[in-house]
Amino acid sequence: MAVRKLLDDWYRQRAADVFAKVLLEMVPRLGLRRTLPPMRLLSMRTQWGSCSPKGEIVLNPHLVKAPRPCIEYVVAHELCHLREHNHSDRFYRHLARALPDWEARKVELDDLAELLLNR
């Protein structure tokens, strides 16, 4: 049990570091003119991330196990919610401008989900 806790703590720290870097890179890529939004880590069983109505980005620390393009997709997806807090056509246009290949990244992440979330 102690080994599991150490491993979980390591993943959380690694996730915080990696996600902060990706956020820093993606904010200007999305044309957001603001300081970095607050970010929090939360282990979730079925979600990689969310964006609160107040603009807090919540990311699943298990996402750090995914390839970098998949992490970029989730971060970009949540950042797009700062402009459109829905999944409208406008939301997807923002996402496509930042990541033209977002659909392929999503498919890759979906294919890995069971493996990444259950380990």
Q: Give the pLDDT confidence of 10-35 residue by residue, as tens digits.
A: 999 999 999 999 999 999 988 887 67
Rounded CA separation 119/82 (Å): 31
- Percentages of the chain per state (helix, strand, coil), in multiples of 5: 60, 10, 30
Q: Domain 2-117 is in which class?
A: alpha beta
| Pick from 9-23, 33-47, 59-73: least confident | 33-47
Residue 92 above 90 pLDDT? Answer: yes
pTM (global) more than 0.85: yes
pLDDT score recorded for residue 119:
61
Instruction: Tell me the C-alpha distance between 118 and 97, whole Å.
Output: 32
Query: DSSP strand E in 1-119: where?
Result: 39-41, 49-51, 57-59
